[in-house]
Amino acid sequence: MTRRTAPVVLKFGGASLEDPEQVAGDIRQAQRNSTEVVVVASAREGVTDLLSASARHPHSQVQHGRLLDEIRARHPGLPPVGRRHLDRVRRLVEALERSTAPDPALTDRLLSEGERLAVHWLSARLREDGIPAVPVEADHLGLITDNAYGASCILLDRSRAAVRRGLGRILARHDLPVVTGYFGRSLEGRVATLGRGGSDYAAAGIGALLGASRVELVKRHVAVLSADPREVPDARPIPELSYEEAEELAQFGARVLHPLTIEPARAQGIVLRVRSLDDPSVVTTIAPPRAGRRNRALTVLRPLRLLRLRVPGGRQRPGIVAEVSQRLAAAHVNLVQLYTSSALLCLVLEPEQVLPGLRALAPVTREAAAMVDGPYRVALVTAIGDGILGDLHLLPPGTVSEAEGFSATPRALSVAVPESRGTEVLRALHRALVTGAPT
């Protein structure tokens, strides 16, 4: 690829696609100084929700008629290639109607159509605006993923040559590639989605493959804040995060970023920028940590359930922690959090995983005579920030003493509290660590 500067990847989220002229203006701005630009687009707002609702209710034909009407209405001026994707949506929904068992790969094919429609629609609108946009479907391009349908991971080494070649060819003609986010092609050659919100991750992956200087995640009004403003009204914007802080924030449930987005950027030292299309002053830069910067952000995850496993002989029983986690993993039960003392193992699970979890642990309760109590309804409140352990003395009394569990690493400190106290504890920690913290 011949170029003067490393390219910049601009990812537009569903809501930010509402006004294609504004998107065109934003792209032109980035193209100044002859910077090469690659666009990654999500589906238009609400489209993935519609598609996944019809996959969940494959037999509701009334709903399917409405689905096509609503999707068509969201892509005015769709060119003929794009209209073929509307037909494809209809055929895929019919295939789901006929299927007798859940088919994750077929569902992913249907879900991917939202992004395909978006890139054909957006490219046509950008061309009307004088930008030579070329729609690119990531599976055809050669963005390769593993076979975990619905939550797949990008395989960077397997994707590198094809993605660089395909996008390099378009850039060499001075055209603008507009690539689908959210999905790629699995090792067995089928469509695989990266999980909800996965277009951020796709953009970071493509940025890493191209050696981009920057990946910008353009959202409509969303900012990275010290907490969810619906829970904590005086949450503040965070102008800069380290990769590690951003990763913890995404893992602990901040909805602004897909949890896998950070890793490809960190591995290549690419700066990630989350910014608002409407308000240029709302921007968060995600980059290596900088001395002297103090960030604190709070998240809450709920509803969750806590199970207490009391094992005779406790942790002295060799291999008990490994046995419990292996049994849960084999039953596809995800451990949200694990607290251990010598006599107790406290497991935090999603509510719908409690029954499968108990079933998976039945052999342990039988053989080791372990006793389970719970499930207890809990919320997991997490405080994130480089050096957070230095803030232990700031925690308000009561938050930890009345907690069901507590865990901490140098970057994230979380407490499981009774579900009904989730908001109160979140706000108390926000007051202690963000608004009222000594600076």
Q: Which residues in this chain contact ligand ASP in the complex, by CB under 6 A? A: 14, 42-43, 48, 114, 181-182, 196-200
Nearer to ligand ASP, 182 or 339 (CB): 182
198, interface contact from ligand ASP, Mg ion, none, CB < 5-8 Å by kind:
ligand ASP
Residue 410 token pair: 């140098």
7, interface contact from Mg ion, ligand ASP, none, CB < 5-8 Å by kind:
none
382 binds Mg ion (CB under 5 A): no
Nearer to ligand ASP, 43 or 380 (CB): 43
- Report the nearest approach of ligand ASP to the CB of residue 272 (Å): 15
Nearer to ligand ASP, 199 or 353 (CB): 199
- Report the nearest approach of ligand ASP to the CB of residue 14 (Å): 5
Nearer to ligand ASP, 50 or 241 (CB): 50
- Report the nearest approach of ligand ASP to the CB of residue 49 (Å): 7
Nearer to ligand ASP, 200 or 419 (CB): 200
114, interface contact from Mg ion, ligand ASP, none, CB < 5-8 Å by kind:
ligand ASP
Each residue 30-49 as x (binds Mg ion by CB under 5 A) or -, in order, gives: ------------xx----x-
Nearer to Mg ion, 42 or 340 (CB): 42
Nearer to ligand ASP, 127 or 196 (CB): 196
20, interface contact from Mg ion, ligand ASP, none, CB < 5-8 Å by kind:
none
Site residues for Mg ion, 136-195, by CB under 5 A, read none
- Report the nearest approach of ligand ASP to the CB of residue 181 (Å): 5
58, interface contact from Mg ion, ligand ASP, none, CB < 5-8 Å by kind:
none
Site residues for Mg ion, 44-73, by CB under 5 A, read 48
Nearer to ligand ASP, 151 or 283 (CB): 151
Query: Which of the ranges 10-18, 23-31, 141-149, 383-391 carries the binding residues for Mg ion, by CB under 5 A?
Result: 10-18
- Report the nearest approach of ligand ASP to the CB of residue 217 (Å): 10
Task: Using alpha carbons, list the distances in angstroms from residue 74 to 69, 81, 109, 175, 251.
Answer: 9, 16, 20, 25, 31
HEC string of the chain equals: CCCCCCCEEEEECHHHHCCHHHHHHHHHHHHHHHCCEEEEECCCCCHHHHHHHHHHCCCCHHHHHHHHHHHHHCCCCCCHHHHHHHHHHHHHHHHHHHCCCCCHHHHHHHHHHHHHHHHHHHHHHHHHCCCCEEEECHHHHCCEECCCCCCCCECHHHHHHHHHHHHHHHHHCCCEEEEECCEEEECCCCEEECCCCCHHHHHHHHHHHHCCCEEEEEECCCCCECCCCCCCCCCCECCEEEHHHHHHHHHCCCCCCCCCCHHHHHHHCCEEEEEECCCCCCEEEEECCCCCCCCCEEEEEEEEEEEEEECCCHHHCCCHHHHHHHHHHHCCCCCCEEEECCCEEEEEECHHHHHHHHHHHHHHHHHCCCEEEEEEEEEEEEEECCCHHHHHHHCCCCCCCCCCEEEECCCEEEEEEEHHHHHHHHHHHHHHHHHCCCC
261 binds Mg ion (CB under 5 A): no
Place of tokens 């938050």: 399
385, interface contact from ligand ASP, Mg ion, none, CB < 5-8 Å by kind:
none
Q: What distance in Å separates the CA atoms of residue 381 and residue 252, rounded to the nearest whole number? A: 9
Nearer to ligand ASP, 47 or 416 (CB): 47
One-letter amino acid at 20 equals P
For Mg ion, which residue of 7, 14, 20, 259 counts as binding (CB under 5 A)? 14
20 binds Mg ion (CB under 5 A): no
Contacts with Mg ion by CB under 5 A lie at 14, 42-43, 48
